[in-house]
Amino acid sequence: MRTEQQIFELIFEIAKLDDRIEAVLLNGSRANPNSVKDQFQDYDIIFATRHINDFVKDKEWHKQFGEILIMQEPDFEETKK
C-alpha cells in the first residue's frame, strides 16, 4: 500500500504533467486537521479544469492512479459551448 506522501506526490505529478488541470484541491477529512486519522480514510481530491468533457470522454484517465476498487460517477450530460 502507498504511503500518504506517495499518494500526494502522485496527485501533484499527474496535475503538473496535464496542462488541462488548473488547480488541485483537497477536501474531506484529510483537509480537516481536527479529524481523527484512520487506515480507511480516502482522498477527496478535486482537479479544477475547464476541459470537463475531455476527462468525461476519456474512460481510461483514472487508471494512472492505480487499480480502482470502488468508483462513483455522477450522471453527466455533455456541456454545450
Give the residue carrying C-alpha cell 476519456.
Answer: 58
pTM: 0.79
Residue 32: per-residue pLDDT: 95
Mean pLDDT of 9-17: 97
CA angle 21, 27, 28 (to 5 degrees): 145
pLDDT band at residue 12 using 50, 70 and 90 as cut-offs: very high
Domain residue spans of the chain: 4-65
Q: Taking the CB of residue 13, how many other CB atoms lie within 10 A of it?
A: 11
pLDDT band at 78 (very low <50, low <70, confident <90, very high): low
Query: pLDDT tens, 14-72?
Result: 999 999 999 999 999 999 999 998 888 989 999 999 999 999 899 899 999 998 888 88
User: Would you say 22 and 49 are in contact if contact means Cβ atoms under 8 Å apart?
Assistant: yes
- Is 5 strand, coil or helix? helix
